Chains A and B, each alone.
Chain A
Amino acid sequence: MSALAVAAAALQVVGVLAGAPLVVGGMRQVRARLEGRAGGGIGQPWRDLRKQLRKQQITPRGTTVVFALAPAVVAGSTLLIAAIVPLIALGSPLESVADLFGVVGLLFLGTVALTLAGIDTGTAFGGMGSSREITIAALVEPTILLAVFALSVPGESANLAAIVSATENHPEQLVSPGSLLAFVALGIVIIAETGRLPVDNPSTHLELTMIHEAMILEYAGPKLALVEWASGMRLTVLLGLVANLFMPWGIAGADPSLLAVLIGLASITAKVVVLAGLLAAGEVFIAKLRLFRVPELLAGSFLLALLAVTASYFLGTPTS
């Protein structure tokens, strides 16, 4: 483990921290332009964050430490994921600490913290949001783990570096049905987990249709800033992860040179920008699903993930 590998991991964390509001802003801007509005500009989320961070701390009456700590847990778990997953370089110093299953677990830890905070407020909206969020999370879990399974078949490991380098060494596997199905399945569950359309509408103002927004209704000021920042970071990290799992080109090796790290940074930025732009453009054309149609979507993605595993078991050409 060289100093540069450590530096690359730190760069990932800093990059995600700084880039997440920009990704969110960029997506809003793409949407606004496609809908014929001017939009607030890419930097708007950053300006919002700065404003909220300077506001007064507010504790809603009757809430406990769970409510106070939840934003930090969400943000912390996301930052840790950003340090573990290979975004810029392969050999993160935390690489052996958690594999893809561990990353999924961390993701759910953040979700659980926020749902508990929603219940803790003791309002109808908080409970409603939490109940919906946890229902979706419970149904997402099978798909996400099966997709991990499908991804781990070619590299024979659920370790992130092993998966990424297996794809890098055998690019022809990318166009195999197993890999494509896993990509679609993983895409659907990431949309569900990050609360994007058609599962949840991040810009809704109607409480009855809210999921994520209903849970965080009582947050204000710096805590709200942290929650929003964290949800932006989750989206960014997951987009980056998907990008590198399926299109690992440009990523620096386990023992990178300075140039490789820079190339890695540039390529991951480009990939995330492209994916986020596509996602935002796609969202223009779809409406939110009814809550009770969401299980259909998730059952569908579960089926795709199952097909992905069976396909990579049976169809997959043995890596030689």
Chain B
Amino acid sequence: MTQATYTGVLDLAAGAFLLAAVLVVWRRELRALVRMLAWQGAALATIPLTVGIYQADAALIVVGVVVLLLRAVVLPLLLARAVGTEDHERRESTPLVNTTTSLLITAGLTVLAYAVTRPIIALDPSPATRAVPAAFAVILIAVFVMVSRRRALSQAVGFMMLDNGIAATAFLITSGVPLIVELGASLDVLFAVLVLGLLTGQMRRTFGGTDLDQLRELRD
């Protein structure tokens, strides 16, 4: 793999990674959100795979394959099962912030991410670190998604995006994390998703819906 292809693929992966996050903000159908998450997982997996192939590092390739399986296949499937079968459950109810404003806020967050990661890139300018802002922007966008969405499932998607963003940042800055660390983190996420799925089911049985605003009733 030549330097140019390596840079190109890495940039594209980072771009797709960010784009998936933007689309999560944009779309409202819960199934579409889960699909976007799967795409994002695939884009995320491309990063360690590319770096692994370029540096001929077998451990990284293994990490990449694990990430691909877990984040592009297993987790989205689990989440997709949690999406309600009832009709009114398939869409995000009116978000707290309207879509147009959300998109503009996303734009602002991305610009902010570019601004704050400038020093990190300056430390070690390489094709990998130059894509860090995209990963960091995903972290910020994920936090925003969690803040602004009502459905429990959208929250779960936001949480997964957050984790994806952190993982991507780690891959890009350190050119790969040890296998064991990555496995540990991924297992954590897996458990978190399982718990979230259980909780969502519980919520639906208790309240008849997954609108988080109903949780307020617990306080009274």
Contacts and interface: CB of A to CB of B under 8 A. Distances in A.
> When A and B assemble into the complex, do they touch directly, with CB atoms less than 8 Å apart?
yes
Interface of A: 172, 175-177, 180-181, 295-296, 299-300, 302-304, 306-307, 310-311, 314-315, 317
Given A299-B99, A303-B103, A307-B110, A177 B22 contact: no
Nearest to B28: A296
Given A177-B14, A304-B22, A310 B99 contact: no
A145 B110 CA distance: 19
B107 A302 contact: yes
Contacts of B11: 176-177, 311, 315
B157 interface: no
Contacts of A317: 4, 7, 127
A303 B99 contact: no
Interface residues of B, number: 27
B174 interface: no
B104 interface: yes
A311 B15 contact: yes
A303 B22 contact: yes
Given A180-B12, A180-B15, A315-B130, 8 more contacts: A172-B8, A176-B12, A177-B15, A177-B16, A296-B103, A303-B110, A307-B107, A317-B4
Nearest to A294: B100
A165 to B, nearest CB: 20
B79 interface: no
B142 interface: no
A306 B103 CA distance: 11
Interface of B: 4, 7-8, 11-12, 14-16, 18-19, 22, 26, 99-100, 103-104, 106-107, 110-111, 114, 121, 127, 130-131, 133-134
15 contacts: A172-B8, A175-B12, A176-B15, A177-B12, A177-B15, A177-B134, A296-B26, A299-B103, A300-B103, A302-B103, A302-B107, A306-B110, A307-B19, A310-B111, A317-B4
SS class of chain B's interface: helix, strand, loop or mixed? Answer: helix
Contacts, number: 69
B110 A314 contact: no
A303 B110 CA distance: 9
B100 A315 contact: no
Nearest to B118: A314
Q: Rank and list the top 7 A-B pairs by shortest CB-CB distance, nearest first.
A: A177-B15, A299-B103, A299-B100, A296-B99, A303-B107, A303-B103, A306-B107
Contact of B111 (A175, A181, A295, A306): A306
A240 B174 CA distance: 44
Nearest to B117: A314
A39 to B, nearest CB: 33
- B99, B103, B104 pick with most chain A CB within 10 angstroms: B103
Nearest to A184: B19
Given A295-B100, A314-B130, A314-B133, A307 B12 contact: no
